[in-house]
Amino acid sequence: MLRAARARRIAAATAFGGGGLTLVGGGTVALLYLQARLAKNAIGITPWNRPRADGLYGTGEGPPLRLLMIGDSTAAGFAVTRSRETPGALLAAGISAASDRPVLLRCPATPGATSADLAGQVERAGPRHHDVAVVFIGANDVIRRVRPNDAVASLREVTRDLVAAGTPVVVATCPDLGTVRPIGWPLRSVARRASRQLAAAQTIAVTEAGGRTVSLSDLLADDFRSDPLAMFGPDRFHPSARGYAQASFAVLPSACAALGLLPELDEEETTRGVLPVDRAAVMAAETPGTEVTRAGAGDRAVDRRHGKRPAFVRGPFRLRPSSRAVPAEPREETDDENVGAPRATPGGAEEPRPG
């Protein structure tokens, strides 16, 4: 059972400069490292001609909403062959359908990235304001044995900076690596524990920095077990296009909520979902599809005992892709200076100049 106190200690260490917290003991880490080497040999290297996903998606009135997609291979959509299959494209199409506005996607996400790489990705995205940022991160921090307090500190800093700049942040927390087939028992259970502890600590840090999180946990575990050929990509480690679609549509409602595109819950429903942030983080880590965000000012009295900040728990969501949200291939993006010029959307309509 994942303990709230453990997740709180990891998150607190990042806030106050604490040192060497680790998720597992030294002997276990050595075994996990050996198992990871064996899994790496089983996975091998998959060549990937990355499709260009940056561009405009959807049509509608008004200037395009700007979506920033950062993180690791899940954010990039590693191994898919068409841009419309990437999580960024799926989210852009879904947001466009919900808002009746085009969405301009910028995706500097990089396969193999850890939390320490997020700041560089934001910098590469350019100085323009983004209407929402979506982050998929955490798996490589566990695989590469990054100290959890270092990983969470990097994520906290990027979230805080984006929120301070007026960009809402949605973080898809570390997935459950216990679902990865090349990792065998008994070390698969260690990978599951490590990823869930990191996910809980990420939830605390992101929520307290003003963002919101969505738990991936073992969101796809049942589907991966029942139909591994369809859900896994060619390396049996990364998801297939279908797997990425499932993850993307778990995050889509939270991205829409961050943009104000979903109706607000009534007061009774909101109050029922408020928990201390550490308990909310553990619940989310163990319940895939659950969203956690900072509770409103009116809910702060729910738990100020022991100095704990309250958080609002919502979900789990079970949104499935619809035909309206299937993106077309984006028009190849031109230089940033020409973003405001009239251009064609994937549907063929001319995009008016923003403003």
Catalytic positions: 73, 235, 238
- The Cα–Cα gap between 97 and 203 comes to 28
Q: In terms of C-beta density within 10 A (0-12 exposed, 13-18 middle, 19 or more buried), how is residue 208 classed?
A: middle
- The Cα–Cα gap between 262 and 257 comes to 5
Strands (E), the chain: 55-57, 65-71, 103-106, 132-136, 169-172, 212-214, 274-276, 291-294, 310-314, 343-344, 350-351
Nearest to 243 by CA among 79, 94, 53, 56: 79
Q: In terms of C-beta density within 10 A (0-12 exposed, 13-18 middle, 19 or more buried), how is residue 272 classed?
A: exposed
Contact 331/53 with Cβ under 8 angstroms? no
Using DSSP, state whether 72 is helix, strand or coil: coil
- The Cα–Cα gap between 14 and 154 comes to 9
Instruction: Name the phi and psi angles at 67, rounded to 5.
Output: -110, 125
